[in-house]
Amino acid sequence: MPIKMLAVELYKSQQKVHALRDKLEVATGLEADRLRRELAVAEKECEQLRRRIDARKDLYR
């Protein structure tokens, strides 16, 4: 995948993480548990995308 597309996907993923964090601040009980799990998955996705972008950048050095 081209680096530009990866960057767009990373941006979308970061937006999702921010939205989940905002929701988690006001959530309680089972909803908070669900949001924590969803947030963990979203954060892992962000990290994977960052690593893919970094790897692509290394190819051009």
Residue-wise pLDDT tens digits, 14-30: 999 999 999 999 999 99
Task: Tally Cβ neighbours within 10 Å of residue 39.
Answer: 17
The proportion of the chain whose per-residue pLDDT surpasses 70, expressed as a percent, equals: 98
Instruction: Name the DSSP class of 29.
Output: H
Q: Which two tokens stand for residue 15?
A: 């937006």
Which positions of the chain have pLDDT values less than 70?
61
**Alpha-carbon gap, residue 10 to 17, rounded angstroms:** 10
**Alpha-carbon gap, residue 26 to 24, rounded angstroms:** 5
Task: Tally Cβ neighbours within 10 Å of residue 34.
Answer: 13
